Structure 1
Amino acid sequence: MKGLVALLFGLLFIAGGFLLWLQSDPVTAPSPGFDPLLQALLEVDPDAFEAPITSDPLLFPRDHAPHLGVRSEIWNLVGQLVDEDGHAYPFQFSLLRFALRPGAAERTSSWATTAVMLSGLRLYEPDRSRIRVRTAERLERDALGLAGGESVPARVWVADWSLTLASSEATGTHLTLNAAGEDLGLALELSGSIAPIALGELGLFGREGGAGFQGYLLPRLSLQGRLTRDSETVPVQGQAWLEHGWGNLIGGTGPVGLDRIALQLTPDQELICLQLRRLDGTGTPIPSCALIREDGGVQRFQRREILLEPRGRWRSAGSGFQFPVAWRLAIPLLELELTLDPLVKDQESAGPLPLWSGAVRVAGRQQGVPIQGRGWVEVSAESVTEPD
Structure 2
Amino acid sequence: MSVRSIAIALAVVTMASLSGSQAAPQGFGGLGSAAEGFSVPRPGLLFRFPEDHGAHPDFRIEWWYLTANLEAPDGTQYGARWTLFRSALAPGEAKGWSSPQIWMGHAAVTTAKDHFVAERISRGGVGQAGVVAEPFSAWIDDWQMKGVAAPGADQLAALTLNATAKNFGYELHVSAKGPLVSQGKNGYSVKSAQGQASYYYSQPFYTVSGSLALPTGNVGVTGKAWLDREWSSQPLAADQTGWDWFSLHLDSGEKLMGFRLRDKGEGFTSATWITADGRPEPLPAGALQIAPVRTAKVAGRQIPVSWSLRIPGRGFDVTTRPLNDQAWMATSIPYWEGPITFSGSVGGRGYLEMTGY
Fold match by TM threshold 0.5:
yes
Question: Which residue of the other structure, out of 341, 344, 350, is the alignment partner of 1:364?
Answer: 344
Number of residues paired by the alignment? 337
Please name the residue that 1:18 is paired with.
none
Q: CA deviation at 1:189?
A: 1.7
Asked whether the 8 Å contact 1:273–1:288 carries over to 2, the reply is: yes
| Residues 354/68 of structure 1: CA separation in 2 closer, same or farther (3 Å cut) | closer
Please name the residue that 1:217 is paired with.
202
The letter of the residue matching 1:46 is: A
Please name the residue that 1:148 is paired with.
130
Question: Which residue of the other structure, out of 176, 183, 187, is the alignment partner of 2:160?
Answer: 176
Q: 5 Å matches for 1:9-158?
A: 26-27=24-25, 46-105=35-94, 111-126=97-112, 131-158=113-140
Deviations 1:203-240 (A, max 9, x none): 87799xx7463221111201112222249433322110
Q: Does 1:295 align with 2:277?
A: yes
The letter of the residue matching 1:335 is: G
Q: 1:331 and 1:251 mapped to 2: Cα distance?
A: 24
The letter of the residue matching 1:337 is: D
Deviations 1:30-72 (A, max 9, x none): 99xxxxxx67x987x6322334554221122221122233222
Q: CA deviation at 1:167?
A: 6.2
Asked whether the 8 Å contact 2:197–2:236 carries over to 1, the reply is: no
Please name the residue that 1:330 is paired with.
310
Asked whether the 8 Å contact 2:189–2:198 carries over to 1, the reply is: no
Deviations 1:268-289 (A, max 9, x none): 121122234543xxx5455443
Asked whether the 8 Å contact 2:45–2:187 carries over to 1, the reply is: no
Please name the residue that 2:225 is paired with.
240
TM-score, with structure 1 as normaliser: 0.73
Q: Does 1:260 align with 2:249?
A: no
| Residues 47/168 of structure 1: CA separation in 2 closer, same or farther (3 Å cut) | farther
The letter of the residue matching 1:62 is: E
Asked whether the 8 Å contact 1:66–1:154 carries over to 2, the reply is: no
Specify which structure has the bigger relative contact order, considering alpha-carbon pairs within 8 angstroms and separated by 6 or more residues. 1
Deviations 1:306-346 (A, max 9, x none): 4432211235563x5x4332212222333322111233334
| Residues 197/89 of structure 1: CA separation in 2 closer, same or farther (3 Å cut) | same
How much is the aligned-residue C-alpha RMSD, in angstroms? 3.9
Structure 1 gaps, min length 5: 16-24, 32-37, 382-388
| Residues 226/345 of structure 1: CA separation in 2 closer, same or farther (3 Å cut) | closer
Compare 334-343 and 56-65 and name the one that shifted more. Answer: 334-343
TM-score, with structure 2 as normaliser: 0.78
Asked whether the 8 Å contact 2:111–2:324 carries over to 1, the reply is: no
The letter of the residue matching 1:97 is: R
Q: CA deviation at 1:364?
A: 1.5
Q: CA deviation at 1:90?
A: 1.1
Q: Does 1:198 align with 2:174?
A: no
SS in 1 for 2:116: strand
Q: 2:108 and 2:122 mapped to 1: Cα distance?
A: 18
The letter of the residue matching 2:108 is: R
Q: 1:49 and 1:276 mapped to 2: Cα distance?
A: 23
The letter of the residue matching 1:373 is: R
Asked whether the 8 Å contact 2:270–2:288 carries over to 1, the reply is: yes
Please name the residue that 2:354 is paired with.
378
Asked whether the 8 Å contact 1:259–1:380 carries over to 2, the reply is: no
Question: Which residue of the other structure, out of 117, 142, 159, is the alignment partner of 1:160?
Answer: 142
The letter of the residue matching 2:354 is: E
| Residues 286/181 of structure 1: CA separation in 2 closer, same or farther (3 Å cut) | closer
Question: Which residue of the other structure, out of 151, 170, 181, is the alignment partner of 1:186?
Answer: 170
Structure 2 gaps, min length 5: 1-7
Asked whether the 8 Å contact 1:202–1:298 carries over to 2, the reply is: no
Please name the residue that 2:291 is paired with.
309
Deviations 1:129-163 (A, max 9, x none): xx210112221222432122223312221001111
Deviations 1:72-115 (A, max 9, x none): 2101101112223332211221111112223444x7xx545322
Please name the residue that 2:3 is paired with.
none
The letter of the residue matching 1:338 is: V
Deviations 1:347-374 (A, max 9, x none): 45679999544332211224xxxx2323
Q: 1:255 and 1:360 mapped to 2: Cα distance?
A: 25
Please name the residue that 1:226 is paired with.
211
